[in-house]
Chain A
Amino acid sequence: MRQSIVHWFKFASPQSFYPLAGRMIPWFWAAAAIFGIAGLWISFFVAPTDAQQGEGYRIIFVHVPASWMSMFIYLVMAFWAGLGLALNTRVSGMMAQALAPTGALMAALSLLTGALWGKPMWGAWWVWDARLTSELILFFLYLGFMALQAAIDDPRRADKAGAILALVGVVNIPIIYFSVKWWNTLHQGSTINLNKAPSMAQTMLWGMMLMALAFWMYSIAMALMRVRAIILERERHTEWVKHAVE
């Protein structure tokens, strides 16, 4: 028992996490490529046309995974930020900082694809509906987190300030998720629920799930690459970094 705890804490030090991340990155890129190609193949060529929306519905294969990731990455980011705040572990803050740009990208992608979908289907690019507005707030939270961290020179203090912002913003995630249930919104309800069968044809569901997996793998690979850069930057005065760069 004692042994395994010691083993895990080893990776909380930047020096041992750096090479581990480096070894994992190619695997995540490979998985992202495989899932992405399979997902896109199903999305474009296998999944049938939708009875109501025609071919335009195919934007869900990007829109839904991007929206899921934007919410999930925020939770993971807040988890790392909170862990760093509570336990003062160094890599935690770096992980939170590394995740933010990918999360912001996903939120932006979700808003953009949603607008492209909304115009032909609903008849409007943008509506101030609870789901859309709360997702826009999520995008601003990511930008705020990144700006706040960049504004404070001392990385430890930047991590602390960012962590508080990240934790406060967590309130927004259930609001996004349940907005379509709690209020009258133009955005439709969720197709995929934990407590009922998905109201979607099988092949469409497969396409969406593969695309979601591809987005997961891409996000992990990106976050690991970014965290390696952050480790090098923050630990640049140490001996091991000098050796690693050489």
Chain B
Amino acid sequence: MKPRQKRIALIVGGLASLALAAVLTLNALDSNIALYVTPSEVAAGKAPQGKAFRIGGMVKEGSVKRQDMTVHFVVTDTAKDIPVAYTGILPDLFKEGKGAVIQGRLGGDGVFAASEVLAKHDENYMPPEAQHALDQAKKAQTTLGATANK
């Protein structure tokens, strides 16, 4: 092998072993990198006990209730629900049916006492008219489905 080819082989070999090391490390870290756990994971006992953690999911439709300064709502991943209580200012994008990431502790009564609520927005961007049309179409579909079921 010429010195140049030797150098190239060394670089390629070095990068390949580095990539392998990175894959193995990331694989081992896996769940520790996740920013939040889902309500199903909490139900399965995967949440850290007695420590603050974050849950992520959808804010259940019709679950937001305000009582003085405290907001009560339910966060869901459609399989499991977790009731949340939060005192403080909610971000603008916090809405029923939208994603949220909530930091806090799980109390003994099963209510998650939140210290911070973050809104998670999705990757879709559209003008209000398009959103309106989409909502109308969805509504029409559910009404049709309901009639068909009867």
Residues of A within 8 A of B139 (CB): none
- Chain B positions within 8 Å of A190 at CB level: 123
Residues of B participating in the A interface, judged by any CB pair closer than 8 Å: 4, 7-8, 11, 14-15, 18-19, 22, 26, 30, 33-38, 56, 89-94, 98, 101, 116-132
Chain A residues, CB < 8 A from B128? 48-49, 51
Is A147 engaged at the interface, CB distance under 8 Å to the other chain? no
Residues of A within 8 A of B (CB): 48-53, 57, 60, 82, 85-88, 120-124, 127-130, 167-168, 170-171, 175, 182-186, 188-191, 199-201, 204
Q: How far is the CB of B71 from chain A (nearest CB, A)?
A: 13
What residue of chain B has the Cβ atom nearest to residue A85's Cβ? B11
Given contacts A127-B118, A128-B35, A52 and B93 within 8 Å (CB-CB): yes
CB distance from B139 to the nearest CB of A (A): 16
Contact of B125 among A88, A175, A204 (CB under 8 A): A204
Give chain A nearest CB distance to B9 CB in angstroms.
10
Please determine whether B127 and A183 come into contact, CB atoms closer than 8 angstroms.
no
A53 contacts B93, C-beta separation under 8 Å: yes
A-B contacts, 12 of them at CB < 8 A, read A48-B128, A49-B127, A51-B126, A60-B125, A122-B121, A123-B116, A127-B35, A130-B34, A170-B15, A184-B38, A188-B122, A189-B123
Q: Is the interface of B mostly helix, strand, loop or mixed?
A: mixed
Contact B11 A86 (CB under 8 A): yes
In the bound complex, CA of A127 to CA of B35 (Å): 9
Contact A186 B120 (CB under 8 A): yes
Docked CA distance A51–B94 (Å) = 14
User: Which residues on B sit within 8 Å (CB–CB) of A51?
Assistant: 126-128, 130-132
A124 to B15 CA separation, bound complex (whole angstroms): 37
Instruction: Give the residues in chain A near B125, CB-CB below 8 Å.
Output: 50, 53, 57, 60, 191, 199-201, 204
Chain B: minimal CB distance from A238 (Å)? 25
